[in-house]
Amino acid sequence: MPKKKQPADQPKRRPDNANVMGLRAEVLEQPITETLELNYMPYAMSVIVSRAIPEIDGFKPSHRKLLYTMYQMKLLGGPRTKSANVVGQTMKLNPHGDAAIYDTLVRLSRGYGALLHPFVDSKGNFGKVYSRDMAWAASRYTEVRLDPICAELFRDIDQDTVDFVDNYDGKLQEPTLLPTTFPNVLVSANQGIAVGMASNVCGFNLAEVCDTAMAYLKDPGCPLTETLKAPDFPTGGQLLMDEAALRQVYETGRGSVQLRAKWRYLKSENLIEVYEIPYSTTVEAIMDKVAELIKAGKVREITDMRDETDLNGLKLTIDLKRGTDPDKLMQRLFRSTPLQDAVSCNFNILIAGMPRVMGVREILEEWTAWRMECVRRRVYFDMKKKQEKLHLLKGLKKILLDIDRAIRIIRETEEDAEVVPNLMIGFGIDTAQAEFVADIRLRNINKEYILRRTAEVDTLEGEIADLQDTVNRPERIRAIIAGELKAVRDKYGVPRRTEILYEYDTAAAEPEAETPDYPVHLFLSREGYLKKITPQSLRMASEQKYKEGDGPFLQWEATNKDELLVFTDRHQCYKTRLGDFEDTKASALGDYLPTKLEMEPEEKALWACLPGDYSAHALFFFANGKAARVELSAYQTQTRRRKLTGAYSDKSPLVSAWLLREDREMAVISTEGRCVVFHTASLNPKTTRSTQGVAVMTLKPKYRVERALPLEDTSIVNAARYRARSLPIAGALLKEEDRGETQMSLL
């Protein structure tokens, strides 16, 4: 039998060696492009459309499903219920775990405080938006209900204002959008990360948004900044007004605004209280950064900082040293900590299922168009109901002409099913009208009742004509929306929480505290302990103390403003300033560089130098016989970077390093006992830090360079014997009289 050929469009099957329970497994090979198209792209679209990006009503699907569930549970105006009940009911619409649903509930709650106008009236511990570590209580302990403002979210939702779709199992209906009577998309802060895009919508004051929307309805070209002053945040703080940055956010939907904490100085207790912080940070992040500055010695005016947040609200207390200027200190903290932070804006919103980054005017345009359609549908729904009622009353009016005849038709009809057809024939009315007449109670078959009902016909006809005119005239719909916006503003509008600073000190432009300049002596031990000692202290006691097994390595004369470069065994260079080190005494051990410079675990310092004006060269000698001359300017940076990777070549271990301010003769000695003396002018300087250098000494396989040092620091008597005419060279064996005692080198 010929072997059956596999179709070309089928995935190839590759047999696997695995054999489990007697069954041979097979692996399907699928092209990566096909995997992306069939598996990844649907997931990416689902995250964008159904999870992370808000829509024009200002809600993500998870928010909408939760709030609609609470609305169906009669929690608008009713008593609170356990949060666990809400979470369980929401799972009928939201096919996710209870933890994810409860997290959504927490972030919408009044207790958590992430929204200017929370939608959930909560009772119990819901954590705080300004705290990273404050955990909220479990759903079985907390209670919730809808906040009164939610009436504006669900107004007329049962009057065909929005579309409804089946839930995931087709057993329930849920709204695709909520018919919010105000631009909630601009009022409620919202952020989310999708696949390949993100959204970060900051909140604005409700009253300002309503005023802006009303102004836009009158004139789409109105100046927005006159009514919409700036973003507003539930955590308060102060917004630094930058008209150019704000204009960019309003026009493009992208940009950022600067927020600053609010604080007060209590002179009697010599402390600062911070009681409002930027929306984008947390109490713990601020305290961690301040502690880091204190530990690094960059802030010396603070004796203690603690979190005294209680039921009255947030409070960070900073105890000050005597004589501290609180204004200058806060300016430095604003510059160096999240007490002043930038809030980025990215107004990415789903419009008809498509993500769009829009400015404020575009958002108002889309919201107005959508809201006008909602109102038009509501008016049309009301008109249709009145038309149906009018139709029934017109049938009743015909009965008024001969009530006795109607009674006789009903009484003389033998079968119940024939009553309606007989009335239709007798009075010339349709089925709906005949059903309405047939269902009138016996006590209502009197002239007064029928006259009173038929009198409504004229009223209904006038109302229907008015509603039809509203449906046909957009300006009347805009007037209805403006009236609703005014009502919302008057009922729910509150003053701004975030203060706008039009005049302020630019913390970023303030110069750093002046570092005092005075002469110092530096001593670096072999184990990496650095001492900075003033000449006065050194004169009083000059005998250096070291740990057992440690000893002197390098020493310099410098000034307190100088920089220090520290090279480590991980091929990294750490930059620091001597002003960051405390003055010490000869009897102290000094600062341990791996700890002080926050090196990686087990990382050790190999060499250090004072770069000065970065005009000198660094000379590196490696175990493989190569030497590299690198310009110090390669280690100079415009920013205050503290760590540079790739500080020197990693192809061979570093044996020795020297700071070369002028050319000199160097002696290189190998473990074989050979020595090469050469002039550094023969080495061309490189600007690449990780250069491998050039070969200076040729080595046999089992030998390596042991040390390298200036010729004048050696005991070599006959230097001409070891001088190299060209490089590389094997060198000459050291004679006994040239060995002597040498300086300790890097190992």
Q: What is the 3-state secondary structure (H, E, C) of 549-599?
A: CCCEEEEEEEECCCEEEEEECCCEEEEEEHHHCCCCCCCCCCEEHHHHCCC
Burial class (CB in 10 A: 0-12, 13-18, 19+), 391: middle
Does residue 3 carry a pLDDT above 60?
no
User: Which one has a higher pLDDT value, 236 or 398?
Assistant: 236
Pairing mode, strands 316-320 and 190-193: unpaired
Residue 741, pLDDT score:
54
pLDDT band at 20 (very low <50, low <70, confident <90, very high): very low
Residue 514, pLDDT score:
62
Find out whether 722 and 677 touch, Cβ atoms under 8 Å: yes
- Report the chain's mean pLDDT, rounded to a whole number: 88
Fold matches, 53-180 and 262-338: no
Domain ranges for the chain, please list them.
53-180, 262-338, 375-492, 519-739
Mean pLDDT computed over 202-215: 96
Percent of the chain with pLDDT over 90: 62
pLDDT band at 99 (very low <50, low <70, confident <90, very high): very high
User: Which one has a higher pLDDT value, 439 or 306?
Assistant: 306
Radius of gyration of the chain (CA): 41
Residue 44, pLDDT score:
81
Q: Based on the residue annotation, tell me whether 492 is a catalytic residue of this protein.
A: no
- pLDDT per residue over 263-274, tens digit each? 999 999 999 999
Residue 521, pLDDT score:
92
Does residue 594 carry a pLDDT above 60?
yes
Residue 743, pLDDT score:
44
- pLDDT per residue over 674-683, tens digit each? 999 999 999 9
- Both structure tokens of 207: 């009253």
Cα 564 from chain centre: 36
Does residue 442 carry a pLDDT above 90?
no
Residue 491, pLDDT score:
96
Does residue 2 carry a pLDDT above 50?
no
Find out whether 633 and 614 touch, Cβ atoms under 8 Å: yes
User: Which one has a higher pLDDT value, 47 or 475?
Assistant: 475
Region 262-338: CATH code: 3.30.1360.40
Residue 24, pLDDT score:
55
Q: How far is CA 443 from CA 174, 233, 436, in A?
A: 42, 63, 15
- pLDDT per residue over 22-64, tens digit each? 555 566 777 888 887 788 888 888 787 778 899 999 999 999 9
Mean pLDDT computed over 583-600: 89
User: Which one has a higher pLDDT value, 139 or 442?
Assistant: 139
**The listed CATH number (3.40.50.720, 3.30.470.20, 3.40.220.10, 1.10.268.10) that belongs to domain 375-492:** 1.10.268.10
Find out whether 247 and 336 touch, Cβ atoms under 8 Å: no
Does residue 541 carry a pLDDT above 90?
no
Residue 110: phi, psi to the nearest 5? -70, -35
Residue 746, pLDDT score:
46
pLDDT band at 1 (very low <50, low <70, confident <90, very high): very low
- pLDDT per residue over 493-521, tens digit each? 999 999 999 887 664 444 455 667 889 99
pLDDT band at 618 (very low <50, low <70, confident <90, very high): very high
Residue 587, pLDDT score:
87
User: Which one has a higher pLDDT value, 369 or 510?
Assistant: 369
Residue 14: phi, psi to the nearest 5? -110, 120
Residue 713, pLDDT score:
87
- Of 43, 68, 71, 141, which one is the catalytic site residue? 141
- Annotation: CATH topology of 53-180: Topoisomerase II; domain 5 (3.90.199)
Does residue 10 carry a pLDDT above 60?
no
Region 519-739: CATH code: 2.120.10.90
User: Which one has a higher pLDDT value, 475 or 14?
Assistant: 475
Residue 212, pLDDT score:
96
Mean pLDDT computed over 169-179: 94
Residue 5, pLDDT score:
46
pLDDT band at 369 (very low <50, low <70, confident <90, very high): very high
- Beginning with the edge strand found earlier in the chain, give each strand of the sheet holding 254-260 in spatial order: 190-193, 198-201, 340-346, 254-260, 238-240, 499-501
Mean pLDDT computed over 425-447: 83
H helices of 160-300, where?
Answer: 184-187, 206-218, 243-252, 283-295
